[in-house]
């Protein structure tokens, strides 16, 4: 282990003004690990946190339905995208600000903090006011202007790993946010792009264990984007828990076949309930448990 | 799911004389799953099988020591390479046939079947006589002459996934062996080659869950080659168990720092014992258990 | 060929409001090919355009020196970064706006239009006023907010391919800019990220030929970032010309060993002169030539 | 440059019995470059060598037709596979030995040496007697038993780069053959496997320039397998010539739409003739020419 982030590609000369051992993101700086506070929920402690909901906010009825389903099954945070980065300019780009109000209302009604993606600095004031976690998507992991701006935000940030980001680059992207003064950062492994094309991406669970050992940040796993296949989300969620992840980010849609975005990879409510029933036993095997408010560990403040 | 193996790369025209649905490797051909018999041990049933030992057989003392360590910790099969595929012609190439006798003797003394790698057809008669499982290495996954020859062997074969083999190619490589008449085939995920260089390879656990759903063959995970980092082998072994793997293939060396091959990734005896103590709880969470001879399920014959 | 952009990964459902055949980026929309006007220079016609200069603007003296060297050798456009996307927040981040004035002054003095990278929408007004080509870096290829903003700009845009962007994603990123109303777009292949680590990236020259056949946009090749090795820039530049590229983007530094950024991959003035002497013969073999103002073809306006 | 082969992946400990500087494959061992003799043809000198013919030998008529077409267009060596490595055991596996006699007869009739793939050591005596170049396919690049056996052969070997072989591994595979005593080795770049799926593989022309600088072996490029797209073979062939390749290996089929193997990527006779007409100008630009018997350079014996 130790205090350095190794790098083997001849991509970039070190050229750093700090010694590597001084990186804020490394575990050596905070051996006990960072705990991130999301409303009443704590991420990074013994409690395992499940964030679930639709890929995209499509309307009030859909989100309320999804929120009631995931809340009933035991999810802790409600997810939903309102600004959607899409490969084609002609694909559905999200509901924008009105969608955010719909999501926030559903979260309030079901007592769940909400997470949504921020795509550019100009959206930060709105997102900071309305959401509980600001998510940075894989395509923006090295959007350094956005990262610097998020260093000034007073809300937690979930930083997804880029499609072809090395482990070193992932930690250094987080370093941009920490360096700006925001220490409430969660890493999120969502699959990397490899030669394999049968599945949407290749879920890199060794990256989760590596990041837990090297950094002090909580690590969340997104098996929905990683596999793109609902039949693999249950086994990959259990594997993520066993590998030491601190939580999951999962797409659930009341009617996947009608979804406007990524419906093919959303869990049905039934499959999500099965997942929530199966998780506790695996968590127990690694001395963890689903996060719950009464847990004494959660009384301790994160910072 | 269903009976076809999809393929999205324009690599190879279908050009098959059989309909895809007729592939022998697919689960549809054997919904209950294949159980492979290795001496007294059964792979592919509820019992989870651990194969452990040194990367390379270096001498009688080293192997006896390793065998006693892994047997005491509860491993079921003894591993050890005697023919070593090495990138450089000047690297240690293995002890060859004498090493095989050393390995077999250590297995006998500790009551463990043995597994070792076969590199070419000419070695098959010797290997078939002396070993209990013939391992095909990643570099030989598409050595079709070797695969065809192994289709005629009466011993189980463990087929490692190639460094850049797609899931489809992996199953079709197994199909070569099944098509030759040998149905005792185990698949082994050992990490794929990606852009990431911090770790030796990228362990693809979604491939394990996918292969369990698509094929009827047992799937073994090799976290030693996949990560190349002893600190990651425990979490990846637990994750493999949670993902539905049927067993593990692990490098253990009494004195890793003195190993002639891949010592940097071998577990010390202490770390291996810790792993064996931690596995049962995760296996229990997915309704599995470490294989044990008295299990009634093992009385059922595999074929 | 034809009018569609194929896609084989299960990444993204089509979900487009336009038929694929209606994509503006495809050659079918403009069979003769787009010619981009950069000051007096035309890109995309028979003239081959060389853009050269330092990776980063470090000061007036360095840029003036570099400009005089590349101008004397026959380069057409002066390059130099003032906003630098860096993996580490502690690496040199560029001179910012003062650097831009230094670069513009050097361009004026040597009669060369200038190209520099824009990293975020907020920089666009400044960049649009001071530079002749706005470059989008590989890390921002899917920064859709930035792409949409560049669709409103009245200056040419050079769009670098992302580190792991598929050919389809590359064209669709350009489509964002075209769809916004800016048709002066150049594509730039700068190497992709693969398993190979000996070189900085893998230069994908088949992508250049493919993009020339599928789209109507000019294609520029950046062999400096693609290889990271000065000894390979000459052969890769000649190969790019033979493959049908419309120009090159090359790092040249008067004193590479003193460069503050990527000095290891910059050409010395001598090596750049050799390249400029060797290019004409290869261009002649494919019925092209180094761009020159007196060429009658250049009198024709691009749009 | 220099005498070492660098390696950055933590794949394999050095563990070599020779100092890296002593590798036989490195240019430092033979600064002037190796010239390989194939019948009357010389590879690796100023003459550029074109090897062409069908992917698979399907019958006498097809091969004779293909041979007459490629001979008339100026090809130097006739290619054709008789043992075909196929992903599926149910795909056409080649004509075997009878196909070899058909190929040899066509070569004799048109005065062309022949090249064909060897898949296992047992085929070597037959191949050594009947063919002029023994080709090792990408899937067998690290079949070390085969490589060692080819070290004892008295005929030239063309060694294709593996689908995900690093440059270092490619040279070390050649080292196996050189170390066995056979110095008549040609390297062949045929595209590597990357995330990109629009084309069959990613042609790595920087690898060609790198291999020419680091090693003393001739380097051949196979644009047919690399791209899988007939429309890209002309530009990639010209680019290969400009990059410093010593020759091409190209699939030509009289009737691609009827081919039993890889017909989609074969050139028609017309397209092949166009390629042969276009090559000389590019070769001239890099001080090379199509190989011709009367060239004084060819009178010099290779060894």
A87 interfacial to chain D (CB closer than 8 Å): no
- On whether residue D265 sits in a domain, the answer given is yes
Residue A303 confidence (pLDDT) = 32
Residues A35, A42: contact at Cβ < 8 Å?
yes
| A chain contacts of residue C164, beta-carbon cutoff 8 Å | 163-164, 193
Residue A12 confidence (pLDDT) = 41
Q: How many other C-beta atoms lie within 10 A of the C-beta of residue B93? A: 18
Q: For C264-301, what is each residue's pLDDT tens digit? A: 899 999 999 999 999 999 999 999 999 998 645 444 44
Residue D260 confidence (pLDDT) = 87
Rounded Cα gap, residues D115 and D78, in angstroms = 6
Q: What is the mean pLDDT of chain A?
A: 91
Residue A56 to chain D, least CA–CA distance (Å): 27
A163 interfacial to chain B (CB closer than 8 Å): no
Angle at the Cα of D106 from the Cα atoms of D103 and D108, rounded to 5 degrees: 110
| D chain contacts of residue A195, beta-carbon cutoff 8 Å | 164, 193-195
Three-class SS string for D97-159?
HHHHHHHHHHHHHCCCCEEEECCCHHHHHHHHHHCCEEEECHHHCCCHHHHHHHCCCCCCEEE
Residue A49 confidence (pLDDT) = 98
Q: For B77-121, what is each residue's pLDDT tens digit? A: 999 999 999 999 999 999 999 999 999 999 999 999 999 999 999
D10 interfacial to chain A (CB closer than 8 Å): yes
**CA diameter of chain C:** 52
CB contact under 8 A, A145 and C200: no
Residue D119 confidence (pLDDT) = 94
CB contact under 8 A, B282 and A286: yes
- On whether residue D2 sits in a domain, the answer given is no
Rounded Cα gap, residues D133 and A174, in angstroms = 54
Residues B70, B276: contact at Cβ < 8 Å?
no
C28 interfacial to chain A (CB closer than 8 Å): no
Q: How many other C-beta atoms lie within 10 A of the C-beta of residue A4? A: 14
Residue B22 confidence (pLDDT) = 83
Rounded Cα gap, residues A105 and A82, in angstroms = 14
- pLDDT bin (cut points 50, 70, 90) of residue A8 is very low
DSSP D37-68: EETTEEESSSEEEEEEE-SB---HHHHHHHHH
Rounded Cα gap, residues C135 and C79, in angstroms = 10
- pLDDT bin (cut points 50, 70, 90) of residue B262 is confident
Give, for C133, the enclosing helix (H) or strand (E). strand C133-136
- Provide the residue count of chain B: 303
- On whether residue B26 sits in a domain, the answer given is no
Per DSSP, chain A holds a count of helices (H) and strands (E) of: 9, 11
Using the predicted structure, report yes or no on whether residue B67 has a pLDDT greater than 80. yes
- On whether residue D75 sits in a domain, the answer given is yes
Least CA distance to B196: which residue of chain C?
Answer: C195
Phi first, then psi: give them for residue B213, nearest 5 degrees: -80, -40
Which of the 8 DSSP states describes residue A250? E
CB contact under 8 A, D197 and B12: no
Buried b (16+ CB within 10 A) or exposed e, B190-214: bbbbbbbbbbbbbbbbbbbbbbbeb
Rounded Cα gap, residues A80 and A56, in angstroms = 5
Residue D19 confidence (pLDDT) = 54
CA distance between the termini of chain B: 25
User: Which tokens belong to C285?
Assistant: 């073999």
DSSP C22-83: G-TTBGGG-TT---EEETTEEESSSEEEEEEE-SB---HHHHHHHHHHHHHHT-SEEE-BSS
- On whether residue B191 sits in a domain, the answer given is yes
Which of the 8 DSSP states describes residue C90? T
Residues 6+ apart with CB under 8 A from B6: A198, B168
CB contact under 8 A, B164 and C9: no
Using the predicted structure, report yes or no on whether residue C4 has a pLDDT greater than 50. no
Residues D51, D75: contact at Cβ < 8 Å?
yes
Buried b (16+ CB within 10 A) or exposed e, D118-136: bbbbebbeebeebbbbbbb
CB contact under 8 A, A9 and D8: yes
B233 interfacial to chain A (CB closer than 8 Å): no
Smallest Cα–Cα separation from C152: which of C171, C125, C133, C117? C125
Angle at the Cα of D232 from the Cα atoms of D229 and D233, rounded to 5 degrees: 90
A vs B: CB pairs below 8 A: 142
Share of chain A above pLDDT 70, in %: 90
DSSP C19-36: -GGG-TTBGGG-TT---E
Q: Which domain, by its residues, includes A194?
A: 42-83+95-293
Using the predicted structure, report yes or no on whether residue A117 has a pLDDT greater than 50. yes
Which of B7, B195, B199, B206 has the most C C-beta neighbours within 10 Å, making it the best mutation to test the interface with C? B195
Q: For D187-213, what is each residue's pLDDT tens digit? A: 999 999 999 999 999 999 999 999 999
Residue B16 confidence (pLDDT) = 41
CB contact under 8 A, A242 and B235: yes
DSSP A21-72: GG-TTBGGG-TT---EEETTEEESSSEEEEEEE-SB---HHHHHHHHHHHHH
Rounded Cα gap, residues C232 and C221, in angstroms = 13
Residue C19 confidence (pLDDT) = 54
Rounded Cα gap, residues D268 and D257, in angstroms = 10
CB contact under 8 A, D193 and A194: no
Q: For D127-169, what is each residue's pLDDT tens digit? A: 999 999 999 999 999 999 999 999 999 999 999 999 999 999 9
Residue C51 confidence (pLDDT) = 98
Residue B67 to chain D, least CA–CA distance (Å): 24
| B chain contacts of residue D148, beta-carbon cutoff 8 Å | 89
Q: Where would I find the H helices in A162-268?
A: 167-180, 205-214, 223-227, 230-243
Question: Can you give the CATH number for the domain in which D72 is found?
Answer: 3.20.20.70
Rounded Cα gap, residues D99 and D104, in angstroms = 9
Partner residues linked to D77 by β-bridges = D51
Rounded Cα gap, residues A246 and A34, in angstroms = 11
B12 interfacial to chain A (CB closer than 8 Å): no
CB contact under 8 A, A202 and B199: no
Rounded Cα gap, residues A98 and A116, in angstroms = 13
Most confident range, picked from B255-259, C6-10, C12-16, C299-303: B255-259
C154 interfacial to chain D (CB closer than 8 Å): no
Domain total for chain B?
A: 1
| B chain contacts of residue C8, beta-carbon cutoff 8 Å | 8-10
Share of chain D above pLDDT 90, in %: 84
Smallest Cα–Cα separation from B256: which of B110, B49, B53, B50? B53
A164 interfacial to chain D (CB closer than 8 Å): yes
Facing B164 at nearest CB: one of D175, D193, D262: D193
- On whether residue C179 sits in a domain, the answer given is yes
Burial of B19 (0-12, 13-18, 19+ CB in 10 A): exposed
A241 interfacial to chain B (CB closer than 8 Å): yes
User: Which tokens belong to A116?
Assistant: 């949504």
ipTM score: 0.92
pLDDT, average across residues B279-292: 98
Instruction: Choose between C210 and A259: higher pLDDT.
Output: C210
Rounded Cα gap, residues A55 and A115, in angstroms = 11
Residue C180 confidence (pLDDT) = 96
Residue C60 to chain D, least CA–CA distance (Å): 33
CB contact under 8 A, D195 and C164: yes
Facing C195 at nearest CB: one of B9, B10, B194: B194
Q: For B213-249, what is each residue's pLDDT tens digit? A: 999 999 999 999 999 999 999 999 999 999 999 999 9
Residue D280 confidence (pLDDT) = 98
Residues A252, A272: contact at Cβ < 8 Å?
yes
B56 interfacial to chain A (CB closer than 8 Å): no
Residue C203 to chain D, least CA–CA distance (Å): 7
Rounded Cα gap, residues C67 and C272, in angstroms = 12
pLDDT, average across residues B138-162: 97
Using the predicted structure, report yes or no on whether residue A16 has a pLDDT greater than 90. no
DSSP-based helix, strand, coil % in chain C, nearest 5: 40, 15, 40
D303 interfacial to chain A (CB closer than 8 Å): no
Using the predicted structure, report yes or no on whether residue C14 has a pLDDT greater than 80. no
CB contact under 8 A, B172 and D85: no
Least confident range from A232-246, A287-301, B196-210, D266-280: namely: A287-301
pLDDT, average across residues A14-20: 47
Residues C184, C132: contact at Cβ < 8 Å?
no
Residue D294 confidence (pLDDT) = 64
Q: How far is CA A285 from CA A135, A209, B70, B283, in A?
A: 30, 16, 23, 9
Residue C136 confidence (pLDDT) = 98
| D chain contacts of residue C224, beta-carbon cutoff 8 Å | none
pLDDT, average across residues A9-31: 66
Using the predicted structure, report yes or no on whether residue A44 has a pLDDT greater than 70. yes
Residue A262 confidence (pLDDT) = 85
HSE toward the beta carbon, residue A152, CA cutoff 13 A: 7
CB contact under 8 A, D192 and C197: no
Rounded Cα gap, residues D37 and C165, in angstroms = 42
* Dihedral sign (CA A163, A161, A227, B279): positive
CB contact under 8 A, A242 and B244: no
- On whether residue B203 sits in a domain, the answer given is yes
User: Which tokens belong to D245?
Assistant: 């390749």
Instruction: Choose between C161 and A254: higher pLDDT.
Output: C161
- On whether residue A88 sits in a domain, the answer given is no
A11 interfacial to chain D (CB closer than 8 Å): no
C20 interfacial to chain A (CB closer than 8 Å): no
CB contact under 8 A, D238 and C203: no
Rounded Cα gap, residues C224 and C262, in angstroms = 9
CB contact under 8 A, C227 and D244: no
Using the predicted structure, report yes or no on whether residue A181 has a pLDDT greater than 50. yes
* Dihedral sign (CA D92, D93, D98, D104): positive
Residue D231 to chain A, least CA–CA distance (Å): 23
Residue A20 confidence (pLDDT) = 52
Residues B211, B223: contact at Cβ < 8 Å?
no
Facing A195 at nearest CB: one of D8, D9, D194: D194
Rounded Cα gap, residues D167 and D175, in angstroms = 12
Facing A205 at nearest CB: one of B7, B198, B236: B236
Q: What residue ranges of chain D have pLDDT lower than 50?
A: 1-4, 6-17, 295, 297-303
Q: How far is CA B45 from CA B34, B37, B300, B301, in A?
A: 8, 10, 10, 11
Which of the 8 DSSP states describes residue A160? E
Q: How far is CA A200 from CA A191, A247, D172, in A?
A: 8, 21, 34
Q: How many other C-beta atoms lie within 10 A of the C-beta of residue C75? A: 26
CB contact under 8 A, B210 and A199: yes
Q: How far is CA A50 from CA A54, A167, A249, A275, A280, in A?
A: 13, 24, 6, 11, 12
Residue D19 to chain B, least CA–CA distance (Å): 9
pLDDT, average across residues C92-118: 96
Residue A199 to chain C, least CA–CA distance (Å): 7
Phi first, then psi: give them for residue C291, nearest 5 degrees: -60, 140
Residues 6+ apart with CB under 8 A from A34: A44, A183, A184, A185, A216, A217, A218, A302
Neighbours of chain C (3+ CB pairs under 8 A): A, B, D
């Amino acid at each position: 282990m130790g205090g350095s982030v190794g790098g083997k590609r001849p991509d970039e000369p070190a050229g750093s003004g700090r010694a590597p051992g001084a990186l804020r993101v490394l575990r050596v700086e905070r051996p006990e690990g960072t705990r991130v506070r999301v409303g009443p929920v704590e991420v990074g402690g013994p409690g395992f946190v499940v964030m679930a909901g639709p890929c995209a906010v499509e309307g009030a009825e859909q989100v309320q339905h999804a929120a009631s389903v995931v809340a009933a099954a035991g999810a802790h945070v409600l997810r939903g995208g309102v600004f959607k980065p899409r490969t084609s300019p002609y694909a559905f780009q999200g509901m924008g600000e009105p969608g955010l109000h719909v999501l926030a209302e559903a979260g309030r009604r079901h007592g769940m903090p909400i997470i949504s993606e921020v795509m550019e600095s100009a959206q930060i004031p709105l997102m900071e006011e309305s959401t509980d976690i600001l998510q940075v998507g894989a395509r923006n992991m090295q959007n350094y202007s956005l990262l610097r701006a998020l260093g000034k935000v007073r809300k937690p940030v979930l930083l997804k790993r880029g499609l072809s980001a090395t482990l070193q680059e992932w930690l250094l992207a987080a370093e941009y946010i920490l360096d700006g003064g925001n220490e409430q950062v969660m890493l999120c492994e969502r699959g990397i792009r490899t030669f394999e094309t049968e599945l949407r991406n290749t879920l890199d669970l060794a990256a989760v264990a590596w990041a837990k050992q090297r950094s002090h940040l909580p690590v969340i796993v997104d098996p929905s984007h990683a596999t793109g296949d609902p039949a693999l989300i249950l086994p990959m969620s259990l594997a993520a828990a066993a590998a030491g992840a601190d939580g999951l980010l999962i797409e659930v849609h009341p009617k996947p076949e009608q979804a406007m975005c990524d419906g093919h990879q959303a869990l049905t409510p039934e499959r999500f309930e099965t997942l929530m029933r199966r998780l506790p036993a695996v968590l127990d095997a690694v001395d963890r448990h689903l996060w719950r408010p009464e847990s004494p560990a959660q009384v301790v403040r994160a910072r």
